[in-house]
Amino acid sequence: MKKLFLVLSIALISFIANSQVNKVAVVAISANDGLRTEGFEDVAINTMSDLYMGQDFNISEELEAFKNYLYNDLSKEFPFSFLDEESVINNEKFIAFKNDYAESATGKISKRLPYEGYSHYLGLYKKLTKQLSEIFPEADAFMVVDLNYSVSPKTMIGGNGAAGGKAKATISLYHKSGKRIMNISAMGMSESSIKVVAEQIVSDRSEIPGALKEGSEELYVDMKENLPKKIKKMEKKLAKIK
């Protein structure tokens, strides 16, 4: 009986050791390509690129800031390590992979803005995960980061009320088998408000970039406070992935 228990224990330890996610390649970091409203429809805002790529709020700078936060700070909270960034984004096969997706029909209509060097793919189904596994055989899983910035309702009834600048980050992890094994998110909303009447923004449009920046700052507050807790809850699940 003791011998059987020993054999089973060794088998269990071996299973856990072989099934853990140890190495992860960050393959996609992107944001919505163009400012949008959420929960109401003011189509004019989508044409105002200066609100999204201007001096007071610039989406390229937001993407860079999040990427740096992910590698320098948030990475310490995960129970796995990242593959070296340069070795991922400078891999010739990966460059071809992300370029092929960008030129595909799906890629062209995705309305995503990727951070330089990364893909903007939001979901990795089995075929694409297999391709990435061939490119990065040392990776156990692949990370996709999705950032979204919008003008969203705070207190609105019937299309009237107050909206704010909202920033949301979603981090997904796809196992090399093709299964999504992690999906965590954080959100920030601006303290300042933007007036909306009949689903149309009536506040001066110059107030929008500042509200978006506030939302972004609150996003980091939420991430620093809550993401480590969410990641901790995922550790046991990740340790059992085969």
- Write the pLDDT tens digit of every residue in 35-87: 889 888 887 776 677 788 888 899 999 999 999 999 999 999 999 999 999 99
Amino acid (1-letter code) at residue 3: K
Q: Give the residue from 148, 46, 211 showing the smallest Cα distance to 203.
A: 211
pTM of the model: 0.85
The sign of the CA dihedral 220, 223, 228, 231 is negative
pLDDT tens for 122-131 read 666 677 899 9
Mean pLDDT of 165-183: 92
Q: Give the residue from 136, 133, 149 showing the smallest Cα distance to 30.
A: 149
Q: Which DSSP helix (H) or strand (E) runs through 230?
A: helix 208-239
Give the phi and the psi of residue 113 in degrees, each rounded to 5. Answer: -115, 105
Give the phi and the psi of residue 189 in degrees, each rounded to 5. Answer: -125, 140
Q: What is the band of 112 on the pLDDT scale with cuts at 50, 70, 90?
A: confident
Please check whether residue 165 is in contact with residue 187, taking contact to mean a CB–CB distance below 8 angstroms. Answer: no
Please check whether residue 80 is in contact with residue 140, taking contact to mean a CB–CB distance below 8 angstroms. Answer: yes
Mean pLDDT of 180-190: 93
d(CA 146, CA 30): 5
d(CA 74, CA 50): 30
